[in-house]
Amino acid sequence: MRAELAVYFIAGTQDIVRGTLPSVLEEALKAGITCFQYREKGAGSLQTASERKEMALECQQLCAKFQVPFIINDDVALALEIGADGIHVGQNDEEIRQVIASCAGKMKIGLSVHSVSEAEEAERLGAVDYIGVGPIFPTISKADAEPVSGTAILEEIRRAGIKLPIVGIGGINETNSAEVLTAGADGVSVISAITRSDDCTVVIRKFANDTSFYNNFSILY
């Protein structure tokens, strides 16, 4: 799980500024992303269930080709229908216990947390496979994001003894990813750093190199 979180790409059609979501995803897969979360939300996103399903299936097939986990954000029904590798939900999305009841044992479950207490509750639930912690830095990708926490929240969660794999979320790019990893994250999740880059291969390889270095030589939590 920790290796799969290393370079965790999140995107929906609303995030794409050049090409199409499948074309950007394929480029990112070739460059070395280790996980993909399909998040179709906000202005410019696909609005009908049939459109979202068609796009999800196309992205799922690409991920399968490169043997990279395919995660769906929030939409449990779609994740179950197409047999996604995982589902990721937030504190304000579907009730996590309902998600666990529907998905545990069928796919990985990720949960967004914003505090030590939420991380502790995620661990107590016993069926959450990883947590997304943030937003670490200001982000342009989520209009309703929680207040920025900085990397200190990662250090606090690790000091609290949380053993769940952690992916840092929010405003992460190639200039600050090392800071996120040294603070305690197992991987970094990125949207605009990939979708808005002129050459996502260079960016992704930087993330991959950072993650490999810090996870091999940092403190073992």
Return the active site residues.
39, 112, 142
Closest CA to 50 of 94, 81, 87: 81
In a 13 Å sphere around the CA of 122, the CA atoms on its Cβ side amount to 29
**C-alpha to C-alpha distance for 197 and 194, rounded to whole angstroms:** 5
**Owner of token pair 């200039």:** 175
**H-type alpha helices, the chain:** 21-31, 49-65, 76-82, 96-103, 116-125, 152-159, 177-182, 192-195, 200-217
- Look at the block and give the residue holding tokens 């970094």: 188
